Amino acid sequence: MEIGTPHLRVARPTDDLEAVIQFYRHGLGFTILSEFADHDGFDGVMLGQPGAAYHYEFTRTPAPSPAAVSRC
């Protein structure tokens, strides 16, 4: 039985995806490995180093519509 290469994924929600991208990409030199929009209601980005055994994933949900907020 062959065991694949271990891979660590750290996933966190954020309210400011653009600031997270600036920090990890421009501040720490990480690469955007993948991005997604409206995947089951989430937008997100995966950052890391190509070929590394880890990546960071940050997600956000779009702001609720004013109608949804007024029902709360």
Domain residue spans in the chain? 16-53
- Residue 6: its H or E element: none
pLDDT band at 71 (very low <50, low <70, confident <90, very high): very low
pTM of the model: 0.75
Q: Please give the share of the chain, as a percent, with pLDDT higher than 70.
A: 81
DSSP classification of residue 7: -
Specify the pLDDT at position 68.
Answer: 46
Tokens of 43: 């937008």
Backbone angles phi, psi at 32, to 5 degrees: -75, 115
